[in-house]
Structure 1
Amino acid sequence: MNIASLTESNDTSIAEKFRQGSPEATELFGLHPAQPEHWRARAAKLDASADRRASVSGIASAIRAYQAQLPAHAEASESLARLESGNALVVVGGQQAGLFGGALLIFYKALSVVQTARYAEKLLGRPVVPVFWIAGEDHDFDEANHVNIQAADGGVRRLRIDRPEGPRLAVSRTPLSAKDWQASLQELAVQLPDTEFKPELLARLQSYVEDAPTLSLAFARLLADWFGKEGLLLLDADDPSLRALERPMFRELIERNDLLEQALKAGENRVSELGFPLQAEIAEHSANLFLHHEQGRLLLHKDEENFVDRRGNVAYTREQLLSLTDSASDVLSTNALTRPLMQDYVLPVLAAVLGPSELAYWGILGPAFEAFEMSMPLLIPRQSFTYLPHNIGKLMDKYELTIDAALHEWADRKSQWLSRQDRWNLEEKFERAREQFASLYAPIMDTVSSLQPGLAKLAESNRDKIMEQISYLESRSIDAIAKQHEAALRQWDRIQLALTPLGKPQERVYGTIHYWNRYGSAWLSQWLNVPYEVTGGQRIVESLIPAND
């Protein structure tokens, strides 16, 4: 296994500045994972504030009920018992569900949660439990309903499962039929290349959707399959049992909503004063809470004394909204800015694993944590990888491509290579022809223009047409060279499809199942052997499997 660090393409972002430990970025978050004493300070603060969080036994009971729907692993049961003991702390990371496990970055996030918990447990000498928080309350089904694979013809294929007709409900409240799942599995079976691992993969997926689960539950089952043996616990933010335990925090978010808005605005000002761009500006008078309604998941805003949605479906006074926390707490949900506060109330969060965009969101949350007499957990940049198959590495060696060049300069390097195959110096010859033609034609243009002014435009048009024909012949000649090197150019394309499919980072395009199908479940488990980096960062990983890949 060969591992090397990669250059970060955006080294001025909040996430990268924080990862590098710059004082201005660290100031926004208070703690930094590279400082061992910060871990101990956070643990001490959690111990001192245990009575201000939700009941540990209640949370353990809710997780136990949810885990009962997932593949069972003794290690996950042991994690639950440790959490229930009251002495354990938690490393949490979350994501919206993804069809058949979603993009590879989700796998990397769960891996980061597991490895961070192990790191913290060794550092602190006490139990630290990994927890994955599925954002099942989110209602953007189109963000969750797809996965990309590389099909048998080498192209990227997006597989999707359509949202049923009706209101835009939370993903965890959107029912899917057995027919929906079977159609999606059949398409997957057709599009996935045939490998020795494909039958087992399809059988496992089939077993997880036989009872026509929601997208969130099917996703949870896959994560439990991949990481249950590492003690990973899963919970769904939209679980009614969890919602019941969140009532006190929902009351605070409603009662002190004006203070919340002021704190978020103060956080925005802090970020801007430090010279960082805002991930997204806070909408004025937003309550930063959602309401689950028959018309869908509705974002609430404040209109004088009432909480309303933009389309006028609902209007609640503060007292009426507070009464919902007792009578129907499962109709309320948090958004991206209040979810961190809710997590900190529900769990003893030692550390949260975040992607770059999430870190940017969290940059404004310091004053909000302070306003609710909480403190921010340690923030752990999600580990990010590019997997380099052995056969792709050999192609890169053949064309003298470094990994940075393959990731960031592929198109230019491919064009330069093709130019070097031109032993006729076509570019130079065609350029000389254009120059000579222009030189010969200029006196003619001058003559006909003086003969009759109206002929000047015709002369220009005639010149441009001839130039176009020269360029057309040049492009056809270059195509002829490319045709002579079709096999090599296909190899160049294979490099891009492997490392930057669709011109994007590999981890954001291909689903985990793409690699599972190609290399088997052993490929997935090998990631646990990749050395952990507490500050994350981009790394290239080569040869997780034998060289005949």
Structure 2
Amino acid sequence: MPSDCLSYKETNYFSPLITDYLDQKEELKQFYNRFPSLENFGKQIEEKKSAFSLHNREVLVKALQEQYSNLEISSTVSSNIDSLLQENTFTVTTGHQLNLFTGPLYFLYKIVSAINLSAALKKEYPLYNFVPVYWMATEDHDFEEINFFNLNGKKFQWNSAEAGAGNDAVGNLSTQGLEEVFALFSAEIGGGKNAEFLKDLFKRSYLEHENLTDATRFLANELFKDYGLVIVDGHDKNLKAGFIPYLEKELTQQVSFNNARPVAQKLDELGYGVQVTPREINLFYLDICVRERLIEQEERFYVNETDITWSKEEILKELHENPEKFSPNVMTRPLYQEVILPNLCYIGGGGELAYWFELKEVFKVVNVPFPVLLLRNSVLIETAKQNEKRKKLDISISEIFMKQHELINRKVRKISNIDIDFSSQKEHLVQQFSKMYEIAAQTDKTFLNAVKAQEVKQLKGLENLEKRLLKAQKRKLKDEVSRITGLQNELFPNKSLQERHTNFSEMYLEFGEQLIPALIEQLNPLDIQFKIITLGE
């Protein structure tokens, strides 16, 4: 199982904010607590231990036991849930939307990162227990972001009449209509051991569960139960009851807005931009087919796009009676996670870490420990045949990440039997014109301008000749160009990172049950580099 790696900066697919964070640039240190290293987790453990109560642990375990009541779980998962009652147990958390059939591949990479970091921490700190957690984003309401997955260059989309009828949290959506997706999916993947596993997994997940929350919990559990993954649904009345004091402050003191906005402005001034702009109130109100943001105007609270309204006293009464109806948005969900979980580290993608960087002051004001922030593992998986083809085409790992036109130009120049680089001719031309400038300087300005215009014209002519020669060579070497573009298109579907486009089922068809164990074996979450893995024979 050969593997290679590349720095995130070299891939050219990650923002300056993320690459500077990984380089631990001094100007970014004000936006996070501790950088992810094994030694820093010792301090994080001590800080979280003193801030997380036994009562919170009891509420969490009771909620998890209820959420898992209709699910067959492994002894490892059961043991991990029970261990959360102990003051020496902590979590490592990642979160993700309820994408249909996991969505893009990075769903797997997030969870594998959490599993492997938990194992690494246990090895480093054997007196403590570490539980990998997948936080399901059940309260999101953007159905268009989650209702499809890509397989073999085709889009498999779920058209839910229920989703189109309202603005409900996606976790509540009925799984009706997924029979059609299942039929198309089954026809696409055909037969064989791996295909039958995937069909059975899809059927048991989506056709045998009534809503998207239960379906996604079953799916994630089936894939990762042997590794002790604990799945949390934050849309839970008992869990939200523990968050009421923070929800009150958000409603009445606008804590997120007042403390995250100045930080976001600092990030913007440093040239990183703002990932999420905080609202005055960073909460939604949840009801049947409603998830709309809360607004305060003239000392009254309103649910956007509805007739629902309260006075301050009335909304606080509603909060205490029905906390489950108050839904954190992207700015308050991180705080909710850290309040109800004995969490040490949040693992996310670049976009997620970007909005976490806005929140450190919010955590400080409400006296909740800010977690370690870790960029999830990123992976390019190639088959043995693709690896062999890449080597035959003499394409290095760094070259395969280049923009396609740049890669083709480089390889055509390299394999051509003529020199397509006119740099020496251009340099010679510039030297010749420098002598003419000396002569022109002794006359008048008009002649100097004429010399300059002629130089520009001739350099432009050389550039055009170089482009025409390169184009001619591409035609002559069209077979090689076709093989290069074909390989890169396979590894970078839709000209994007494989992990952001391809569904895990495409990889499972190819590699079967070795896929997840191979990821567990190969990915080290604290080795912060982009990984390239070759699987198969």
**Equivalent residue for 2:115?**
114
1:23 is matched with which residue: 23, 26, 30? 26
Map 1:72-151; keep pairs closer than 5 Å.
72-125=73-126, 126-150=128-152
Whether the 8 Å CA contact 1:101–1:513 is kept in 2: the answer is no
Map 1:1-20; keep pairs closer than 5 Å.
1-7=1-7, 8=9, 9=12, 13-20=16-23
Structure 1 gaps, min length 5: 151-155, 429-473
1:540 is matched with which residue: 517, 532, 536? 532
1:220 is matched with which residue: 213, 217, 239? 217
1:388 is matched with which residue: 354, 357, 382? 382
Structure 1 distance, partners of 2:105, 2:517, is 14
SS in 2 for 1:50: coil
Whether the 8 Å CA contact 1:306–1:318 is kept in 2: the answer is yes
Structure 2 distance, partners of 1:262, 1:82, is 37
Whether the 8 Å CA contact 1:392–1:494 is kept in 2: the answer is no
The one-letter amino acid paired with 1:170 is: A
When residues 19 and 412 of structure 1 are mapped into structure 2, their CA distance, relative to the original with a 3 A threshold, is: closer
**Equivalent residue for 2:278?**
282
2:263 is matched with which residue: 267, 276, 297? 267
Whether the 8 Å CA contact 1:383–1:536 is kept in 2: the answer is yes
Question: How many Å apart are 1:420 and its aligned residue?
Answer: 8.7
Map 1:237-386; keep pairs closer than 5 Å.
237-257=234-254, 259-283=255-279, 286-294=280-288, 296-386=290-380
The one-letter amino acid paired with 1:520 is: G
SS in 1 for 2:374: strand
SS in 2 for 1:540: strand
Whether the 8 Å CA contact 1:54–1:345 is kept in 2: the answer is no
Structure 2 distance, partners of 1:35, 1:519, is 32
Whether the 8 Å CA contact 1:93–1:113 is kept in 2: the answer is yes
1:515 is matched with which residue: 491, 507, 511? 507
Structure 2 distance, partners of 1:379, 1:318, is 36
Question: How many Å apart are 1:24 and its aligned residue?
Answer: 1.8
Structure 1 distance, partners of 2:151, 2:181, is 13
Structure 2 distance, partners of 1:422, 1:97, is 49
Question: How many Å apart are 1:143 and its aligned residue?
Answer: 1.0
Matched, 1:526 2:527: no
Structure 1 distance, partners of 2:509, 2:362, is 44
Structure 2 distance, partners of 1:235, 1:387, is 29
**Equivalent residue for 1:448?**
none
**Equivalent residue for 1:33?**
36
Whether the 8 Å CA contact 1:91–1:352 is kept in 2: the answer is yes
Q: Deviations over 1:179-215 (max 9, x none)?
A: x121111111122365541012212221222334322
Taking structure 1 as the reference length, the TM-score comes to 0.81
Q: Deviations over 1:20-42 (max 9, x none)?
A: 22222222102111261x31221
Structure 1 distance, partners of 2:411, 2:35, is 45
SS in 1 for 2:274: coil
Structure 2 gaps, min length 5: 423-467
The one-letter amino acid paired with 1:119 is: A
SS in 1 for 2:387: helix
The one-letter amino acid paired with 1:399 is: L
Q: Deviations over 1:280-328 (max 9, x none)?
A: 3334xx3000001345210122223122244354322222221122222
When residues 266 and 361 of structure 1 are mapped into structure 2, their CA distance, relative to the original with a 3 A threshold, is: same
**Equivalent residue for 2:172?**
173
When residues 16 and 481 of structure 1 are mapped into structure 2, their CA distance, relative to the original with a 3 A threshold, is: closer
When residues 374 and 404 of structure 1 are mapped into structure 2, their CA distance, relative to the original with a 3 A threshold, is: same
SS in 1 for 2:295: strand
SS in 2 for 1:408: coil
Q: Deviations over 1:326-366 (max 9, x none)?
A: 22222110011101111111011111112111111011101
The answer to which of 414-423 and 181-190 deviates more is: 414-423
When residues 498 and 56 of structure 1 are mapped into structure 2, their CA distance, relative to the original with a 3 A threshold, is: same
Structure 1 distance, partners of 2:527, 2:310, is 44
Structure 2 distance, partners of 1:524, 1:311, is 44
Question: How many Å apart are 1:108 and its aligned residue?
Answer: 0.2
**Equivalent residue for 1:399?**
393
**Equivalent residue for 1:202?**
199
The alignment covers a number of residue pairs equal to 486
The one-letter amino acid paired with 1:357 is: G
2:182 is matched with which residue: 185, 189, 192? 185
**Equivalent residue for 1:465?**
none
**Equivalent residue for 2:427?**
none
Q: CA RMSD in A?
A: 2.9
The one-letter amino acid paired with 1:503 is: K
The one-letter amino acid paired with 2:364 is: E
Structure 2 distance, partners of 1:50, 1:508, is 35
